[in-house]
């Protein structure tokens, strides 16, 4: 419990630091929120805009006001749509979470077994094949692979839709939903799966060389029991940690993937906010993504503490 409380406290400090840095960068950057004013605006309109945005106040006063509102669930109003920032984020966030969950799930159920196979077959043909495709997956740019998949499966073969999130709500159709998910999830998986495979392989190689594994084998334990019961459990400890590190990378990769496939998630919302200089929306999205990353890492910490009891005393 002490470990989790400490991690929670660190997470809150991190969230505060991110909000401070983001707010000050936005408000002190050249142009800043004042750049949203029209060049032909009258002095009265300019003054009204200054008062509305609070630009007549020092930046630290504006941050304190924003922080007070944020604690009450108010992240401001979008400049471009005049809708509450929270509402716009809530509309888009589930789509990105959907991609993230499927990507992590597929990467884990595929990556860990392949990493184990690569470790126990070290130096043999299966190991070389798995390593080869892992390097390929890490090397191919996501945007290029996405365009190639659209060209092949959407334009040439016509098997999969090239963009959109599929029908939802009362018009929900299972295959329509799955067909829109396949290519975006595949692209994101190529950024996560090779890392899990390689970390699983290195962790398993380290564990199976330990003396206690040799002892279990010497006592006549079945190889499957040695690998999947004794070795894999201890090898999972660093793998769980790396999954928490990969989550921010996955969310950053979602920006490119969502833009390519027209997936209306947080990634496309970030692009819209940046293009429109929608500063409240940029600030809100940054904070929400930070919260999601912190929450995911906190869940990873909980799992980590269950798998390895030693961290509870850290």
Average pLDDT over residues 126-154: 88
> What is the chain's mean pLDDT, rounded?
81
pLDDT score of 129: 92
> Looking at per-residue confidence, does 245 or 94 come out higher?
94
pLDDT score of 295: 83
pLDDT score of 223: 77
User: Using an 8 Å Cβ cutoff, are 75 and 84 in contact?
Assistant: yes
| Overall size of the chain counted in residues | 314
pLDDT score of 114: 93
pLDDT tens-place string over residues 189-199: 988 889 899 88
Q: Please tell me the CATH superfamily of domain 89-275, with its number.
A: MetI-like (1.10.3720.10)
Angstrom distance (rounded) from CA 187 to CA 68? 39
Average pLDDT over residues 235-264: 80
The CA-based diameter of the chain, rounded to the nearest angstrom, is: 87
Confidence of residue 177 (pLDDT cuts 50, 70, 90): confident
pLDDT score of 16: 87
pLDDT tens-place string over residues 25-58: 877 766 555 555 555 556 666 667 666 666 667 7
Decide: pTM greater than 0.95: no
pLDDT tens-place string over residues 98-122: 888 899 899 999 999 999 899 888 8
Angstrom distance (rounded) from CA 173 to CA 165? 11
Neighbours of 119 (CB within 10 A): 23
**Residue 83 confidence (pLDDT) above 90:** no
pLDDT score of 106: 92
pLDDT score of 180: 87
**Residue 3 confidence (pLDDT) above 80:** no
12-21, 46-55, 78-87, 258-267: least confidently modelled range: 46-55
Q: Which residue has the tokens 């945005």?
A: 53
Angstrom distance (rounded) from CA 260 to CA 43? 42
- Radius of gyration (C-alpha) of the chain in whole angstroms: 24
pLDDT tens-place string over residues 263-302: 888 888 888 887 777 788 888 888 888 888 888 877 877 7
pLDDT tens-place string over residues 210-239: 888 888 778 777 877 888 777 887 888 888
**84: β partners:** 77
Half-sphere exposure of 134 (CA within 13 A, CB side): 22
pLDDT score of 109: 92
Domains of the chain, by residue range, sit at 2-34+43-71, 89-275
pLDDT score of 38: 52
């Amino acid at each position: 419990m002490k470990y989790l409380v400490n991690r929670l406290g660190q997470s809150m400090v991190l969230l505060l630091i991110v909000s401070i840095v983001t707010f000050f960068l936005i408000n002190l950057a050249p142009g800043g929120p004042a750049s949203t004013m029209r060049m032909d605006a009258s002095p009265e309109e300019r003054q009204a805009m200054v008062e509305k945005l609070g630009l007549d106040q020092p930046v630290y006063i504006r941050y304190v006001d924003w922080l007070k509102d944020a604690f009450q669930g108010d992240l401001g109003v979008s400049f471009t749509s005049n809708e509450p920032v929270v509402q716009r984020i809530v509309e888009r966030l589930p789509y990105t979470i959907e991609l993230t969950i499927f990507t992590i799930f597929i990467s884990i159920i595929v990556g860990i077994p392949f990493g184990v196979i690569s470790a126990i077959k070290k130096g043999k043909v299966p190991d070389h094949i798995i390593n080869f495709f892992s390097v390929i997956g890490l090397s191919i740019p996501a945007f290029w692979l996405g365009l190639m998949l659209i060209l092949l499966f959407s334009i040439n073969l016509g098997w999969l839709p090239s963009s959109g999130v599929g029908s939802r709500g009362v018009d929900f159709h299972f295959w329509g939903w799955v067909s829109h998910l396949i290519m975006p999830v595949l692209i994101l998986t190529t950024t996560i799966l090779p890392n899990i495979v390689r970390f699983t392989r290195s962790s398993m190689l380290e564990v199976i060389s330990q003396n206690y594994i040799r002892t279990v084998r010497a006592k006549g334990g079945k190889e499957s029991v040695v690998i999947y019961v004794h070795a894999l459990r201890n090898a999972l400890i660093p793998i769980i940690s790396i999954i928490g590190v990969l989550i921010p990378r996955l969310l950053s990769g979602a920006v490119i993937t969502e833009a390519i496939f027209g997936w209306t998630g947080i990634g496309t919302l970030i692009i819209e906010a940046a293009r429109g200089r929608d500063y409240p929306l940029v600030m809100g999205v940054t904070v929400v993504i930070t919260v999601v990353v912190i929450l995911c890492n906190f869940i990873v910490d909980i799992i980590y503490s269950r798998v390895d009891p030693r961290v509870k005393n850290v």
